[in-house]
Amino acid sequence: MLAKEIERAGIPAVYVTSLPTVARMIGANRIVRGPAITHPFGLDEDERRRIVERALDMLETDVEPNTVWEVEE
């Protein structure tokens, strides 16, 4: 809900979550799939950096509603 309301206010918001289905259901538009519920930004700094970079890329991209991006290994 936060993602949707922030985007409704005109601010692009990227939602990093391990549950993209739920994110789609509740109407988030920019979704990056995180590896696990317990650590959506991964366990170590390298993994975290890859996920954050991917999220920032998505903020810089015009997307279709309900888009989910994966993070490459």
Q: Which spans of this chain sit near other proteins (rule: CB under 8 A)?
A: 1-23, 25-27, 29-30, 33-43, 45, 48-49, 51-53, 55-56, 59-65, 67
Residues in the chain: 73
Provide the minimum distance between the beta carbon of 64 and other proteins in the complex, in angstroms, as a whole number: 7
Task: Give the residue among 30, 33, 26, 35 at the shortest CA–CA distance from 11.
Answer: 30
Looking up tokens 């810089």, which residue turns up? Answer: 60
3-state secondary structure of 68: strand
In the complex, minimum distance from the CB of residue 72 to other proteins, in angstroms, rounded to a whole number: 15
Query: C-beta of 28: minimal distance to other proteins in Å?
Result: 8
